[in-house]
Amino acid sequence: LEALAARPGGATPKELSQALGLHLSTCYRLLNTLVSAGYAAHSASSGLFRLGPRIAYLHNGYVAALQPHPATLPFVHTLQLATGETAMFNHLEGDDVVVTATVAGSRPDSHPPGYAGMAIPAHVLAAGRVLLAGLPAAQFEAYLTRCVTLAGIPPFPATTPAVLREELARIRLAGYALDRGEGNPNVCCVSAPVSDGAGVVGSIATVAPCARFRREEQTLVAVNLEVARAIGALLTGAAGRDEPTVAGQDEPEEVVQAAMAARLMSVAESMSRVG
């Protein structure tokens, strides 16, 4: 399926067998099985195979499972509007940082937004390291045990437990994490943790071309911290509202929307004072 996804225009069984190191007959058998289930499609005229319509069903189910709290989404858009750069919300899933919401930047040469579900080992990116910094000590040590080599994912460099511990200590003190082009000299990032009162539940991030990021770093850091605080305050309030009211009924939707609007207004006012 990944080989087909990498070839949206379609591929022949021979191309796929060579790419995957499979015998041609094995490749035909697998393709026919996928076609019969709807996960691949075959063009009789060209002989090419491509992804089938059933993939959309899987994708929709996966993205639905990834969705962050609905209250966070307006703030991801607010972050993008305030900076003009690509904005993302992320969470920790196993040992990976996973993008759960992304909004493309509107400025020239903005970093591509990627996609919901994009995952990479957490220690590799600022958005992941800021989540590792929020883990209880025992959970972080378990992460180190599982990822003992802390290998890099090309082009991102490898690290060591000692270096990572020092970096996470700096993140806890500063309240945010930075990527300064270590993996890609043209891509920088600032990420701040989001807490719901019980613990860190995600990270908000701005990704930008390094030349522009370095000129605007102070502003980008301040904006990300403000948005992270606003989301956290709203989620903390939402957690309290999850408790039944005295009458045993949920809080009216208009109250929830009013709380969200108030937080967005607070963020907008703070943005006007930044920089």
Domain harbouring 149, CATH code? 3.30.450.40
Q: Which amino acid is it at 271?
A: M
Query: Is the per-residue pLDDT at 272 higher than 60?
Result: no
Structure tokens at 42: 């075959």
Question: Residues 148-174: pLDDT tens digits?
Answer: 667 667 777 788 889 999 999 999 999
Coil vs helix vs strand at 93: strand
- Confidence bin at 63 (pLDDT 50/70/90): confident
End-of-domain residue from the set 45, 61, 77: 61
Q: Which of 12, 38, 61 is the last residue of a domain?
A: 61
Residue 246 has pLDDT above 50, yes or no: no
pLDDT for the residue 93? 93
- Say yes or no: 76 and 51 in one domain: no
Domain match, 79 and 199 both: yes
Together in a domain, 85 and 197: yes
Query: How far, in Å, CA of 265 to CA of 104, rounded?
Result: 22
The confidence score (pLDDT) of residue 75 equals 93
Q: Which of left, alpha, beta for 66 (phi over 0: left; psi -120 to 50: alpha)?
A: alpha
Show the domain range for 131: 68-273
Same domain, 83 and 214: yes
Whether residues 38 and 102 share a domain: the answer is: no
Once rounded to an integer, what is the mean pLDDT over residues 82-106?
Answer: 95
Contacts of 230 (CB under 8 A, 6+ apart): 75, 263, 264, 266, 267
Per-residue pLDDT band for 103 (boundaries 50, 70, 90) equals very high
52 and 77, same domain (yes or no): no
Residues 6+ apart with CB under 8 A from 241: 250, 251, 255, 256
Q: What is the number of structural domains in the chain?
A: 2
Q: How far apart are CA 214 and CA 228, in angstroms?
A: 21
- Report, as an integer, the average pLDDT of 118-132: 94
Are 25 and 154 part of one and the same domain?
no
Rounded-to-10 torsion of CA 256, 262, 265, 271:
-100
Q: Rounded CA gap, 232 and 51, in Å?
A: 40
CATH number of the domain encompassing residue 26: 1.10.10.10
Last residue of a domain, one of 44, 61, 78: 61
Separation between Cα atoms, residue 94 and residue 127, nearest integer Å: 14
What's the pLDDT tens digit per position in 205-227?
999 999 999 999 999 999 999 99
In a shared domain, residues 108 and 197: yes
Residues 13 and 101 in one domain: no
* Pair 127, 11 in one domain: no
72 in the same domain as 57: no
pLDDT at 6 over 60: yes
Residues 214 and 97 in one domain: yes
* Model pLDDT, residue 1: 93
Q: What is the pLDDT of residues 9-43, one digit of tens each?
A: 999 999 999 999 999 999 999 999 999 999 999 99
* pLDDT confidence of residue 67: 84
The sign one gets for the Cα dihedral 17, 6, 123, 69 is negative
